[in-house]
Structure 1
C-alpha cells in the first residue's frame, strides 16, 4: 500500500478506542489482549513506567501517523509531556519511546538490541515488532515500535494503544512485553458495495478511522446507489461531492487504508468504443488527481446476453464467451492506457459478471485466457452469500478464473434482507484460506455503525486466521463497542444475541435459545428465563444511554422490537407459571394480553431508500416459535389439542419463517431464500396422531406469483420417516388440495419437491383439517368477521361474537363427532365481555343436564363421574347481553 508521507497527513482525529481503562499495574494473569491476535506475544519479567515526561525518538522517515498515534497513546496513559526528538536522550529516569523500523529510524535497532529482542528483519509487508522493557541501568525503561515498513510501525502503535492503560496521572507500571506480528492476508478490508441507502460522509470518515484501529488496509468505494458510479458513470462529480471524496482519500491515507475507487459502467458501456474508454479513464483521472491510487471496474449485476451497442455484437458475437472477451478487451485497454501510465498506480481490480461460483463456463474461460494477468478478480465464493468458504474452493476459483482472487465476501451485508441486522461474527471461513487469496474484503450492512461488530471479527480473521475464534472475537467486538462500560456491554450482548444468525451462521440467539431449551427440559427455572427476558426488555434503554450514537440510530427499530419481545417474554413466563400454580383465571388474563404484545414486537419498521416500510426481524426462528410453544403448553393445561407447527429444510428469506405457514393469516407467509431442490420440503407437525381431513397448501403471493412448488407431492407420515402419498403429484398450480381417504391418521404432513426449480418458494398457509372437530350451531348469529366455529376451534385467541342479544330460547351448541367421556367443561370469555348469562349443559343419552352457570371470564364446571356426552351447550338467559365466547373446552 502507499507509504504515508508527512505532507499527506490529514486532520483526522486520533480516536483511541476502548483501550483498557486501568488505573494501576496490570494483573499478572497473562499478556494483554491485543486485537487482532498477534502471532507472538511474550511477557517479560521487567516493567516500564509511564513517567510524567516521555521522549519519543523518531528518524527522518518515521511514519507521521504512527508518531501522532504513539504520542496520543502516551498522553492517554498519563504522560504530561511528550517530546519528539531525532536524538537519543542522555541517560535519565524518563521513559523513552522509539518509533520506526530500520528504514525509518535506525536508532530503533540499537534500542531493540538493548532489550535483547529480535527486530523486524524477515517479516513480510506490514509486520512489526513491539517491545516494552528495561535495558541495563534504565530506570523507567523503553518502548520500541519497529515495523517492517511504515504501515507495520503504525500497526505497532495500534497495538501499543491496547497495551498501555488509560489514566489521568503518570506513574503506571506496565509489564514488559515482546510482540512479533504480521498479517495472514495481504489485502484486508471493506467494500461498500451494497444496494440501498449509501453511508453518510461522516459515517465513512468514522469507518476509515475504525479500519486503521483494526489493521485493515483497504476500503473500496462502490455503493450501488451512487449514481456517478453506475447510471451516470460517464458524468463528472459535482465539486462538492468530489471534495468529500478527497477528504475520504486523505482520511484513508492517514489510517494506512488504501482508498479504492470502483466504477461500474456495465449498464450502458460499449466495450469496443474508444469514446467510452476515454470517458472511463477520464473519470479515473479525476479521482487520481485527488489522491486515489487504486481502481476497480465491477461488472456485476448486469446482463451479458444483451449488448449495449451493435458494434460489440458485430465484434464478438453473442453468448457468455463473447461477453468475457469484450470485458477483457476493455479492461486490458484500461490497464494499458491508465494503470500502466500512472506511476504508483496499484493493480486494477474487476468483478466478473459470473462472480459467485467456480463452475467452468465459456464466460470464465474467455476471461481467464484474455484478461491481463495482473488484474485482480473479485469473487464471492460458492454463492452470492457463501455460507462457507474453503481452501479448496479458493484454489478452484484461481484455476477457473486464471487470476489472483480477491474475495468480495457478502457478510454482513443485508441489502437482500433489510429487515435484519447481522451482528454475529464472521463465520464459516476455513483456516488457511488467506494463503490462496490476494485479499479479503467484506461487504457491510446498510447500517455503518451496526456493521462495526461483524467487521471487527472480519479484521481479526484476516489478520490471523490461524488464531481466529469467532466467539472470542465477537466477545471482544462487543466489549469494544461498550467502551469499557460493563452495563452497556451486558446490554449489547443481550441485544446482539437476538441478532446473531445470518446466511453464514444459522445459529440464532445462542444464549437465549439455550435458556429456552433448558426451561422446556426442566433444567432452567422459570425465574432464570424470566430474568433473560427482563434483560432483553431493559437492554435497549441501556444501549441508548451508553452506546455509540451512530449504533443507536442504526439499530433504532430493532432496539424497539427487542424491548417489546422482552415484555412479551415476561408475560409468557407469567402465563405458564400462573397455570402451573392452578390460577387459571389469572393465567387467562395474561394470555389475552399476549397477542397484542407479540403484535407490538412485530410492528416496528425500517424505512429504506425508497421510503418502503420494512418489518424488522429480531430473534429469527427463536422468538416466534417460543411463543407458539408457550401457547401449546398453555393449551395442554387447558385441555386443548396442540396447534400444528411448521418446519422446513430450506433456508429462510428475510424473517419469513416457517411458523407463518400455520398462523391462520393468509397475508403472512414462509419464503425460502433460494429455489427448492428435489426432495426438499415444508412439513407440518400436527402434535400427535390424528385423523386427516382435506389438506391445502396455498403458495405464491402478489409480486411473486411463480414462487411455488412447480412439481411436488403431498405426503403424510406417522413417524416422520415413512411417508405415503396423499393424492396425485401436483404440477403447475400455486394452490393444491388433497382429500385423505376416510380413516386416515397421521402426525406429519408435508409438501415435497419432486424436482429442482428456478423460483423460490412462498407458502402462505398449509392447513390440515380434522374430520373429528366439533361442530358449533345455534345463536345468536355471529357478528361480521366472527363465526360460530370460533367458539370451539381450539384457538382461544379467536372468539365467537354475537351480532345481537340472544332471543328467547337461543343457545350455543358444541357437538362432538361421537359421544366421549367428559370430566369437565371450561368456558373462556374475554375479561371485558362477561355480562352475558347462561346455563352450561351436557347432552347425555339425548337428554340435557345442567352443570351450572357461567361465572366470570373462566368458568369450569365438573361433570359427574362416568359421564359420556356428545354435546355441550350454553343456554342464554332472556335479556342477556350479546354473548362473546373465546373457547368451549370439553375435558
Structure 2
C-alpha cells in the first residue's frame, strides 16, 4: 500500500477548539461579583455540653444542682393561664408531653417579667420572644410576656427532652433559663436562581424554622413567574395559591412570618395603572392570609432602578395598604444598590435617597461589601449611615446558584459576633436550591441570629450534624467536611483536618493517614444511605454521595499507585496507572456533583500528573513537557489552572476575583526553550464576555524577572495569536494594562508551541496529525486513540522505543519494522500496555497496528 508522508508541526500544547457560547442571562450577576479569594479558617472549637444541647444557644442557662425530676408519668396543669390565652391552646405545641391528672406540675404564665441575661443586664420581659423556663423539684414554670415567648420556651423544653441525657424524655435536669433573641428578624429568604423548593420541602423547612426559633420566611424564588416578570401582575393559578395558603398556615403554626415578595422592577411602569396592578396583587395575597410583604428591585436595569420612584411607590403602599390594614407588617425592600461594590456612595446615591425620604418603618436589605460576603460592622456602618436605619442583612450563604454543581455542608462563619440590633435589624440566609441539605447551615444561622455574642461556628456545626443525621453522624461529618468550599467566589474552608502531599513529599506516615481518610470517604455514602431517615434529604444528597464514594476509591488508588511506582515494577505500575485514569464520563459526572475540591480531588489530580511525569523522566531521562499555571491569582496554584491547559475551549480557568492593576496570568515551561508560537483564548467566550483583560500585553521571560513583549498594547482581544522568529523563554504571560474593568478574568486555552518540526508518516489511520503527535509530545498524560495503523520514521541512531499504551480488554497490538524499501524486518505482538522494542538493522519506519490508546512512544539512542 502506498504510504502517505505528512510533515507536521510538533506542537507541545493542545489546539484550541471553537469558542464557547455566550452567556445567556440578560442580567449578568457575574459582572458584579468581587469576592476576595481568601480561605479563612473556621473559628471556634467543639464543646462538651455534658448532655445538654439547646439550639439556639440561650442567653442565660444554669443547672441549679438539684438533680433531675421524673416526668415519665406525664404532666399536669397546676394553674390555668389568663383568659386571653388558654393553656389548652398550646397542647398542639406540647405534643411531645403526655397529660395526666396526677402528673408532674407545670405552669405557663403570660406576664411582664424581667429577662436576666448572662452579663447581668436586664432586658424587658415585653421583648418579642423573651421567656424564662425553670425546672425545679416542685414543677416546671414557663413565663413569657407574649405568645411568641411561650412558643420559644416550649421549643427549648422540647430540645431538653430530646437530649440523650434525659433518658428518653423521662428525667429532666433542674435548671433555669432566661432567654430572648437579639435580632428581631431571623430566618430565610428563598431568593436564589434555579429550581424553587418543592412544596413538601418548604413545609419541612417551616417546621424546622419554628423548632429553632427563626421567625421569618421570605418567599421570593427568582424562577417563580408570578413573583417576577412578566407575570407579577397576574394572580396565581388556583393550585399554586392553595399551596401558598398551606405555607401561610404552617408558618402561623410555627410562629413564623410568611413574607411574600414580588419582583416587579424588570418591566414596571411608573404610572397609576401599574401601581394599581401591584396593589391588587398584594390585596389578593392578603385575602389568602399573607400579612407581610417585600418588594424586590434587585438584579434589574432600566427604569425600574429609579430610587425616587421606588421610594414613592413604597411610601404610598405603606400609607394606603400597610397602615390601612393595621394587621400588615412593615414593608421590606431589596434595593438595586444592595452591595457596597457598586452602590453609589454620595448624597445623591439611591441609598442616601432612601435615608432621606423612605418611610422609617420600611426595612432595607443589604448583602454586604459584595454579593456574597462576611457580615461585618464596617459594612453595616457604611450602609446604616446612608439608609438611616439598621439594615436587614440578606446573607448569600449557603446559596449555590453560581456554583450549582456543589452542595455546601460546611460550618457557618464570617459573622461578626459583636453586632447588636442597633447594627442590623436582622439576618436572613439565602440558602441552596437543595432545601433539606440547607438545614445544616440554617441550624447555625438560627444559633447566630438569636445570640451572636457566644456563637461558636465549629461547635454549632458539630451539633447540627448530630441533629441532621443522628444515626450516621460520623459518616455525614466525613461527607460534610469535604463538601464545604465554593472553589471560587465566597470561599469556605474545607478538609481542614486532612493533610495531603505530593509524590516528592511521600512518607509512610503521611501515606497511611491519608489512605485511612480516603477509606472513610469511600465508605461514608453507604453508611449515610443506611442511617439517614430523612427521605427528602437523602434524595438531595444522593448524586453527590455517588460521586463522593468514587472520589474515595480514586484517592485510595492514587496512593496505591505511588506505592507501585516506588516499588520499581514498571509494567505493573503502568498497567494500573492507565486503569486508574478518569474517563471523560468520570470527569463529567464528577464536575456535575463535586466535593473534595480543595484537597481530595486535587490530591488525585496532582498525584496522577506527578506519577506520569516522574515515570516519563525515569524512562526517557528527559523532563516531561508539563505546562504549569502561574500568575497573580492564588487559584492558579491549584488544579483549576488546568482548565486553560486541557485542550477544551468550552472549559475555562477563572480568577474568581476582580481584576486589578498589575494582574497577570500565564504558564511556566519545564525549562527554557525556543518558542515560535503562542495562542491564548481569553474570556468565557470570544463574542461578548466581560471576564477578560480588555487592555493587555503578551510577554515572555527566561528568568521570571525580566520580561519582553511579544504583542504589546492589545485592546479588546479575545483571540490572541503570536507567531514569529523563535524566542528563548521559560515563562509566558498575559499582563493587564491600564483599564477601568473590574470583572473577573478568564482563559479558555493557553497553547505554547516550541520551535521544531517532527516528521511523521502514517497510514490507514483516521487520526489527525495533531492527535498522533500526542504520542511524541513528552506529555504522558495526553494520548490519541489508534483504530488502525500509524507509522513513523526512525531517525538514524535510534536503538529502541518504549511504548506506553492502554489496550481494550483482551486486546493486543502488532509492531512492524520496515526498511527503506518497505520490506518487513521485524514484527512482534503484545497484549501488554507497556513494552520496549529494539530497532532492527536498517529499519527506517515502524508501524503500530491495532486498537490502542497511545500515550507516549519514547525513542532511545
What TM-score do the two structures reach when normalised by structure 1? 0.78
Q: 1:791 to 1:196 in 2, by over 3 A?
A: closer
CA gap of 1:462–1:875, structure 2 versus 1, over 3 A, is: same
Describe the shift of the 1:800–1:292 C-alpha distance in structure 2 as closer, same or farther (beyond 3 A).
closer
Checking the alignment, whether the CA contact within 8 Å between 1:727 and 1:739 is kept in structure 2 is no
1:775 and 1:469, CA in 2 relative to 1: closer, same or farther beyond 3 A?
farther
Answering whether residue 597 of structure 2 is matched by residue 620 of structure 1, we say: yes
Alignment of 1:736-751 (within 5 A): 736-738=720-722, 742=726, 744-747=728-731, 749-751=733-735
Relative to structure 1, is the Cα distance of residues 805 and 53 closer, same or farther in structure 2, using a 3 angstrom cutoff? Answer: closer
**SS of residue paired to 1:602:** helix
- In the other structure, the counterpart of 1:608 is none
Deviation (angstroms), 1:449: 1.0
5 Å-filtered alignment, 1:69-218, equals 71-74=94-97, 81-83=98-100, 95-102=104-111, 124-134=127-137, 141-165=138-162, 172-218=170-216
Asked if the contact 2:696–2:734 (Cα under 8 Å) also holds between the matched residues in 1, the reply is no
Secondary structure (helix, strand or coil) at the match of 1:728 reads: strand
Verify the 8 A CA contact 2:815 2:846 in the aligned structure 1.
Answer: yes
Alignment partner, residue 455 of structure 2: 468
Give deviations 1:310-341, integer Å, cap 9, x for gaps: xxxxxxxxxx7xx2221111111111111111
Q: How does 1:518-537 map to 2 (within 5 A)?
A: 520=505, 522=507, 524-537=509-522
CA 1:31–1:553: 2 relative to 1, 3 Å? closer
1:252 Cα deviation from its structure 2 partner: 0.7
Contact 1:198 1:446 in 2 (8 A): yes
Residue deviations 1:47-76 (CA, integer Å, cap 9, x gap):
2233332324351356869943773334xx
Per the TM alignment, residue 693 of structure 1 is displaced from its structure 2 partner at its CA by 4.6
SS of corresponding position for 2:135: strand
1:295 pairs with one of 273, 293, 299: 293
Distance 1:331 1:776, change over 3 A: same
What's the offset of the Cα at 1:41?
A: 2.3
1:660-706 Cα offsets, whole Å, 9 max, x none, are: 11112233222355652222232324355555453321123558543
SS of alignment partner, residue 197 of structure 1: coil
Q: Distance in 2 between matches of 1:195 and 1:717?
A: 44
User: Is the 1:565–1:601 Cα contact (8 Å) retained in structure 2?
Assistant: no
* Partner SS for 1:499: coil
- Cα distance in 1 between the residues matched to 2:59 and 2:834: 67
Shift of 1:783: 3.3
Q: State the match for 1:730 in structure 2.
A: 714
Instruction: Map 1:336-485 to 2 at 5 A.
Output: 336-357=319-340, 358-361=343-346, 362=348, 363-385=350-372, 387-435=373-421, 436-482=423-469, 484-485=470-471
8 Å contact 2:799–2:838 — kept in the other structure? Answer: yes
Deviation at 1:171, TM superposition (A): 8.5
What secondary structure does 1:448 align onto? coil
Distance 1:34 1:118 in 2: 22
Distance 1:756 1:628, change over 3 A: farther
2:325 alignment partner, SS class:
coil
1:394 touches 1:433 (CA, 8 Å); kept in 2? no
In 2, are the aligned partners of 1:537 and 1:566 still within 8 Å (CA)? yes
CA gap of 1:714–1:431, structure 2 versus 1, over 3 A, is farther
Does 2:530 align with 1:545? yes
The answer to whether the aligner puts 1:36 opposite 2:62 as a matched pair is no
Secondary structure of residue in 1 paired with 2:95:
helix
Deviation at 1:217, TM superposition (A): 0.7
State the Cα deviation string for residues 202-229 of structure 1 (Å, max 9, x = none). 1111111011111111011112222222
The answer (yes or no) to whether the contact 1:221–1:260 under 8 Å persists in 2 is: yes
Q: Which runs of 5+ in 1 are unaligned?
A: 1-26, 75-80, 135-140, 308-319, 606-614, 842-848, 864-870
Tell me how far 1:438 sits from its aligned partner: 1.1
Give the superposition deviation at 1:791. Answer: 2.0
Residue aligning to 1:563: 549
Please list the CA deviations of residues 443-500 of structure 1 after superposition, one character each: whole Å capped at 9, or x if unmatched: 1211111211222221122112222222222222222111x21xx2222222223320
Q: How does 1:275-354 map to 2 (within 5 A)?
A: 275-303=273-301, 305-306=302-303, 323-354=306-337
Q: Distance in 1 between matches of 2:708 and 2:220?
A: 52
Q: Secondary structure at the match of 1:769?
A: strand
Per-residue deviation at 1:437? 0.6
> How many angstroms apart in 1 are the aligned matches of 2:654 and 2:249?
45
Tell me the residue number matched to 1:50.
70
Give, in whole Å, the separation in 2 of the partners of 1:51 and 1:840.
94
With CA pairs under 8 Å and 6+ residues apart, which has the higher RCO, 1 or 2?
Answer: 2
Q: 1:880 to 1:34 in 2, by over 3 A?
A: closer
Is contact 1:379-1:406 (8 Å) kept?
A: yes
Aligned residues: 782
Match of 1:663 in 2: 646
- Which whole-Å CA distance do the structure 2 matches of 1:411 and 1:171 have between them? 35
CA change 1:873–1:696 in 2 (3 A) is farther
Match of residue 827 from structure 1? 803
Asked if structure 1 preserves the Cα contact closer than 8 Å seen for 2:805 and 2:852, the reply is: no
Structure 2: gaps (5+ residues)? 1-46, 618-622, 820-824
Aligned position for 2:857:
888
Could you tell me whether the CA contact under 8 Å between 1:676 and 1:756 is conserved in 2? no
1:633 CA displacement: 1.9
Q: Does the aligned pair in 2 maintain the 1:495–1:539 contact within 8 Å?
A: yes
Q: Check the 8 A contact 1:453/1:474 in 2, yes or no.
A: yes
Match of 2:224 in 1: 226
- Quick one: distance in 2 between partners of 1:517 and 1:102? 65
Give the whole-Å Cα distance in 2 for the aligned partners of 1:119 and 1:353.
39
Tell me if structure 1 keeps the 8 A contact 2:129–2:148: yes
Deviation at 1:423, TM superposition (A): 2.5
CA distance in 2 between counterparts of 1:876 and 1:860 reads: 13
Deviates further, 498-507 or 705-714: 498-507
CA deviation map 1:633-668 (0-9, x unaligned): 212133152622325655989x99332111122332
Q: Which residue of 2 aligns with 1:267?
A: 266
Aligned to 1:506: 491
How far apart, in 2, do the equivalents of 1:56 and 1:690 lie? 88
TM-aligned CA distance change 1:493 to 1:704, over 3 Å? farther
1:791 aligned residue: 775
CA contact 1:420–1:616 (8 Å) conserved in 2: yes
Distance 1:513 1:216, change over 3 A: same
Q: Distance in 1 between matches of 2:737 and 2:524?
A: 43
Q: Tell me the SS of whatever aligns to 2:107.
A: strand
User: What displacement does 1:97 show?
Assistant: 2.7
Contact 2:337 2:344 in 1 (8 A): no
Tell me the alpha carbon deviations over residues 81-114 of structure 1, each in whole angstroms, 9 at most, x when there is no partner: 4248xxxx8xxxx5323334435xx9x99xx9xx
Alignment match, 1:78: none
Residues 404 and 757 of structure 1: CA distance in aligned 2, closer, same or farther (over 3 Å): same
Within 1, Cα distance between the matches of 2:700 and 2:145?
67
Contact in 1 for aligned 2:765/2:786 (Cα 8 Å): yes
Q: Assess, with a 3 A threshold, how the Cα gap between structure 1 residues 537 and 235 changes in structure 2: closer, same or farther.
A: same
Query: Mapping of 1:828-843 within 5 angstroms?
Result: 828-832=804-808, 834-837=812-815
Rounded to whole Å, the distance in 2 between the matches of 1:64 and 1:459 is 27
Aligned-partner SS, 2:68: strand
Whether the 8 Å contact between 1:565 and 1:598 is mirrored in structure 2 is no
